[in-house]
Amino acid sequence: MYLTAIRKLMPQRRRLLMAAMRVTKLIAIIVLGSGLQASAGVYSQNITFSGRDVSLEKVFSVINKQSGYLVFCDYSIIKDARKVSIHVKDASVQDVLTECLKDQSLEYEIVDKTIVIERKKETAETAAPVPPPIDIKGRVTNEKGEAVPGATVSVKGSSKVVATNDNGEFELHGVDQNATLEISSIGYEKQQVKLNGQTSLNVQLKVEAASMGELVVTALGITKEERKLTYAVTTVGGDQLSKARESNVALSLAGQVAGLTVHGANGGPGSSARILLRGMPSMNSGGSPLFIINGIPMDNTQRGASGEWGGSDNGDGISNINPDDIETMTVLKGQAASALYGTRASNGVIIITTKSAKKGQAQIEYNVNALWDRAMNNTDFQYEYGQGLEGAKPVTTTGAQNSNRFAWGSKMDGSQTIQYNGQNYAYSPFKDNIKNFYRTGPSLTNTVSIGGGGDWGNMRLSASSLDNSSIVRNSGIDRKNVDLNGTLKITSRLSSTVFVDYIDEQDRNRPQLSDGPGDPNNFQFLAPNVDERIFAPGQDAKGNEIVFSDDNYVTNPWFVVHNWINSTGRSRLITAVAPKFNFTDWLYVMARVGYDREADRIFQVTPTGTNYSFNNAGQSGQFNGLTNQTTSELNLDGIIGASHNLTKDLHLDATAGTNFRTNQYEYTQINGSQFIIPFLYTPTNVLTFGRNYSYYKKQVHSAFYSMDFSWKDMLYLSTTGRYDAYSTLAAGNRGIFVPSVSGGFNFSRFVQSTPINYGKLRAAFAQTSGEPTGGPNGTNSGAYTDAVYYGVGNAFNGTAVGTLNGASGSVENNMPVVPNLYLKPFTLTEVEVGAELKLFNSRLGIDADYFTRKTRHEIMSATLSEATGYNSTYVATGSTQNQGVEVQLTGNPVKTRTFSWNVSFNFTHVANKILHTDNANNNLTEGAYRPLNANTAFIPGMSGPQIIAYDYTYDSKNNIVVDGSGLPIRGSKLVPFGGVLPTTYGGLRNDFTFGNVNFGFLIDYNYGNKILSATSYYTIYRGLNKMTLNGRDGITTGVTASGAANTVTATAQDYYQRIASISRNSVLSGDYIKLRQVTLGYNFTQKQLGNIPVFESINVSLVGRNLWIISKKSPNIDPESNFATSVKYAGIEGTSLPSTRTYGINATFKFKK
């Protein structure tokens, strides 16, 4: 008790202590050893002592002797104390005491030169000695010593919070001198500083990765500080791609980046993506940006797609990449950003940086992601009238079979009605075909990564496995990725990065789309009373297809899912090695070897029993092909770079280099028809054989430079230039030089009294070039376009048969392409102005751009009338213009210690205009939809591609003219009905964090585009569309050619089938707003996992993708529906997979070292 009394008095220090000592004397058993020596002699501050199993009494005595400290203690409390073994040399008194009281129920207190020993108390009872509060003044700066205004300074464990002023200064009053301060500012890493009594602080904040002040990877792998950039870029972190993931990682960029649109094909997992930056950059370049992975170009070729005549989407290059390996994706939108890539940069560049390990941070991580896809039913059919033709339901089996896909019957009355199989079923609505036919498609990704670093460099190795089942039975993909990324420091000057990504992807039965043969989606247009399950299993006992409708080229989907084979396999190796030698700290030379090689094996079989494949001997099936194709690209770069202060205020970063690129492609296919031994699917088991071979090689030699000047971190000027020479062009037209100049002005310091705390203006002019496309080998390589070539096809009864420019070996329908000797690379020129602002202490960020860009001399493949003897030609007359505005807003409306809310909103408006097409400025035909009565085209003066479709025929008073049967007459010309690419689009992202819980969602929107919908055509033609409810008893409409009112009544079927052929009725609006993504996550921190020995942290997220179409204007379809992702088929849909909703869970486990 008395000790407690002493303790309470302690703050009053010495005077009171002396009093206490007096009190203590009454019972003091101490004072040990050779007596009190409190006032005498010179003592060391440190203790040196060694002893085994000595009593505390003895220890205290030593302390007293060596240090002169007095030890106060009730003997009763130390007499039972454990003996201690202690070996200390020059240890402080405190250390010695701590050591010997460790694991004893004793504690000590030092007051001046007096030590008080007592029994340990419950913490709660312990009234800590509270040091007097202090006042603090401080300044927050960045790494360059510049003030960070608006930074938040808070005292940990209290509610005290202040913000720094414009000079980065702050004051705090009455703070515990042992308190910890937390300093944070948007764009910087949060810092904690323990005061330890300091009253004046200088805090330096580090720029935070993945923030607005970040370092950005730009062209050629050069990192720049974002504030030095003179053009627009956006970086998306890998965590935003890998939680609610897509099997094609590119699709995860949708809605996240101003200026960028990404749309996939409805072709199942691993389908390709249409990625367009700033509108449609040009007519001829395919649209896809150039993908650069760790500094080297990677192939993003579409590996086969569906068209109006069917086919499957076999994925693209980017779909091979594992999202778990991606650290960031940086989108270089403008040409100034991408100009250094010259040739292929006209569509913009997306730079992928894969994850790497950091020095001193050994890390083992395991991620598991499990998702489930469900088909979405977007149809809104009529369910009043059932199967049948001309108002009557079927009465015979043949009639039933012929009308399974026609809803022109009578009103559904529930009566028993005959079906194709002779059985009767209720003639009543059946609405579950989509739900029943498509299964839930699970997908599971497991990724393990290990990484670490040291003086030797760093290395990260990851292995990943994806197993994604499609909603179509027996279809899906398996993908394995092994990714190695590291840096080796060989000497202090020589280092090398090493990157290897090995991909093995096996796709099971990619579904046929758009056309009827082999298409598993053929049940989408069943009459509204027909249950698709009556067509299962789709085959008879012999394995022959049971045809379910009037058309045997519309394969029974049950037969398809059980029998059709369309498997594509790929093994791919992307490697990059880049040794770099630093001559000095400001001059380096680098060599880079990048190699991307894809080897594909495609195995396609129309199986035995497929009805339309039978020959007259009863043999069936087709060996559609065993294809082996390899694509490779080799890039050799030599780069020399310098970074130097020219004067005190003027800094120069300069780079010069060369690039040598070789592309090579080789394709071999064997095929045949009718299997001799049924069900044995090998290339030799066929009656007839076919073979195809194709090859190309091309090279580009280039040289480039870039110079970036910065003056006082206020003015920035960059200029680049690149010269490319193409092997694909004729001598004399091979080379082209393209420049760029851009500048930036950081005006932050001039607006310090306004809410603007950061401001930059930027402007850029840049040009890029592109090479010719097309080519005789069907590869769009651009090679061999300057001459007519002559080939040989299959012999005809032993007589050799010639072909023109045809590598496919068929004379049929293989008209040549007119060669052109005068092609040159086309150019794209862009002017961009933009501003970047941060306001209200960086709580609000605005990044806005205006751009205008135009191509010249685009090399066009102009479709020709067959009457020219050729089917297409090349002309260098194309010109495309895009003008637009991009705005990216970021906000941080609420930010407290436990809750934060981040918003990011982006908006893009692009006006695309085709300025000129081929030499005669004709409309250039693009893709068609399967009904073939409308297509898309590039039309001068309009945005591209436009849907052109047939209209009605009108008389002078704008009445619809009908023929003698009372049916509207189709107009004679295809006329434009709107562009297929959106003009206004963007996304809204919200992220909330409450302590360990985070919640985020992404909404994206898309306006201004039209869809050419085969679904619309079929639903009108087949009587499924709600529109066809009107006039089921007959329709009398329009005027006759003479202008008199029509008196002839047409039946609903005749009328609507005519309406369908007037294809403007299949043009729908593509506008939508979608809830794209929702994530809800929880972080188990180290503290929570304290008792679990294995994990450092665990993050678990519930995720959902494509959950809800909030708004759309296109009946019966998802407005994003597409069977192919090329620009050619943009906005054209029909008979593809329903779009899917995805739900699932993602968990990341970080292991303890």
Partner 1 sequence: MNKKILLYISLASLVVAGGCTKNFNAINTDPTQASAAQYNANLLLSSQQIEYFNGTMGYSGALLMQSMWVQVLASAEFPSYYSNGDKYVASGNLTTYDASLWLHCYNSASYAYECQSLAKTAGLSNLSGVSMIMELLDIMNVTDTYGDCPFSQALQGKNSVNLPVYDSQQDIYTSMLSKLDSVLPTLDASKPLPTNDIFPYKGSVTGWQKFGYSLMLRMAMRLTKVDPATAQKYAEKAYAGGTFGSTADDAWVTFDHNDGYNNNNTSAWQTAEDFSEVKWGQNVIAYLKANNDPRLSVIAEVPKPGSDSAAMENQMGDTVYSHQIGMPNGYDQNGGATDISKAPGYPGGTGSGKTAYPTGKYSRMAIGEYINLNTPAFAINYAETELLLAEAAVRGWNVGPSASVHYANGLTAALQSYATLSSYGTIPPATISAYVLAHPLDVSSTTNSLNQINMQYWITTGTLLDFNEAWTNWRRSGVPALTPVNYAGNFTQGTIPRRQEYPTSEASTNPANYQAAVSKLSGGDQYTGRVWWDK
209 DSSP 8-state letter: T
Min separation Cβ 332 and partner 1, Å: 23
Q: Give the span between the Cα atoms of 679 and 712, in whole angstroms.
A: 75
In the bound state with partner 1, the residue whose beta carbon lies nearer, of 128 and 1044, is 1044
In the bound state with partner 1, the residue whose beta carbon lies nearer, of 421 and 900, is 421
In the bound state with partner 1, the residue whose beta carbon lies nearer, of 494 and 894, is 494
In the bound state with partner 1, the residue whose beta carbon lies nearer, of 789 and 850, is 789
In the bound state with partner 1, the residue whose beta carbon lies nearer, of 322 and 936, is 936
Q: Say which amino acid occupies 498.
A: V
Residue 166: partners with Cβ closer than 8 Å, 6 or more residues away: 147, 149, 752
Tokens standing for residue 903 = 């918003």
Assign residue 1087 a region (left: φ > 0; alpha: ψ between -120 and 50; beta: otherwise): alpha
In the bound state with partner 1, the residue whose beta carbon lies nearer, of 735 and 1115, is 735
Min separation Cβ 389 and partner 1, Å: 5
Other CB atoms closer than 10 Å to residue 645's CB: what's the count? Answer: 11
Q: Give the span between the Cα atoms of 100 and 328, in whole angstroms.
A: 53
Q: Is 677 helix (H, G, I), strand (E, B) or coil?
A: coil
Give which of 142, 144, 136, 188 is closest to 162, Cα–Cα. Answer: 136
Min separation Cβ 1028 and partner 1, Å: 15
CA angle 865, 869, 874 (to 5 degrees): 70
Is the separation of the CB atoms in 359 and 458 below 8 Å?
yes
Min separation Cβ 812 and partner 1, Å: 5
Residue 435: partners with Cβ closer than 8 Å, 6 or more residues away: 375, 377
In the bound state with partner 1, the residue whose beta carbon lies nearer, of 372 and 929, is 929
Q: Is 491 helix (H, G, I), strand (E, B) or coil?
A: coil
Place of tokens 């019972």: 27
Min separation Cβ 813 and partner 1, Å: 6
Min separation Cβ 804 and partner 1, Å: 6
Min separation Cβ 221 and partner 1, Å: 17
Q: Give the span between the Cα atoms of 234 and 210, in whole angstroms.
A: 10
In the bound state with partner 1, the residue whose beta carbon lies nearer, of 347 and 936, is 936
Runs of H (alpha helix) within 306-443: 335-338, 397-402, 433-437
Place of tokens 């908006």: 907
Min separation Cβ 952 and partner 1, Å: 14
In the bound state with partner 1, the residue whose beta carbon lies nearer, of 1022 and 1150, is 1022
Burial class (CB in 10 A: 0-12, 13-18, 19+), 107: middle
In the bound state with partner 1, the residue whose beta carbon lies nearer, of 442 and 735, is 735
Give which of 340, 847, 862, 890 is closest to 639, Cα–Cα. Answer: 340
Is the separation of the CB atoms in 298 and 291 below 8 Å?
yes
Other CB atoms closer than 10 Å to residue 71's CB: what's the count? Answer: 25
Give which of 418, 394, 405 is closest to 528, Cα–Cα. Answer: 405
Min separation Cβ 512 and partner 1, Å: 17
Min separation Cβ 139 and partner 1, Å: 42
Q: Give the span between the Cα atoms of 36 and 1022, in whole angstroms.
A: 111
Strands 899-916 and 872-895: antiparallel
Min separation Cβ 665 and partner 1, Å: 11
Min separation Cβ 538 and partner 1, Å: 16
Other CB atoms closer than 10 Å to residue 248's CB: what's the count? Answer: 23
Min separation Cβ 478 and partner 1, Å: 34
In the bound state with partner 1, the residue whose beta carbon lies nearer, of 582 and 990, is 582
Q: Give the span between the Cα atoms of 638 and 436, in whole angstroms.
A: 58
In the bound state with partner 1, the residue whose beta carbon lies nearer, of 701 and 913, is 701
Q: Give the span between the Cα atoms of 578 and 591, in whole angstroms.
A: 5
CA angle 14, 20, 25 (to 5 degrees): 130
Min separation Cβ 855 and partner 1, Å: 21
Tokens standing for residue 137 = 């003044």
Q: Give the span between the Cα atoms of 255 and 241, in whole angstroms.
A: 12
Between the two ends of the chain, the Cα-to-Cα distance in Å is: 48
In the bound state with partner 1, the residue whose beta carbon lies nearer, of 924 and 1003, is 924
In the bound state with partner 1, the residue whose beta carbon lies nearer, of 677 and 801, is 801
Q: Give the span between the Cα atoms of 248 and 240, in whole angstroms.
A: 14
Min separation Cβ 719 and partner 1, Å: 19
Q: Say which amino acid occupies 578.
A: A
Min separation Cβ 904 and partner 1, Å: 42
Min separation Cβ 617 and partner 1, Å: 6
Min separation Cβ 1054 and partner 1, Å: 4
Tokens standing for residue 14 = 């010495």
In the bound state with partner 1, the residue whose beta carbon lies nearer, of 696 and 907, is 696
**What DSSP line would sit under 813-865, residue for residue?**
T-PPEEP-S----EEEEEEEEEEEEEETTTTEEEEEEEEEEEEESEEEEEE--
Is the separation of the CB atoms in 1098 and 1148 below 8 Å?
yes
In the bound state with partner 1, the residue whose beta carbon lies nearer, of 734 and 909, is 734
Tokens standing for residue 247 = 């099997």
Number of H helices, E strands in the chain: 12, 56
In the bound state with partner 1, the residue whose beta carbon lies nearer, of 387 and 1121, is 387
In the bound state with partner 1, the residue whose beta carbon lies nearer, of 823 and 844, is 823
Assign residue 618 a region (left: φ > 0; alpha: ψ between -120 and 50; beta: otherwise): left
CA angle 904, 905, 909 (to 5 degrees): 150
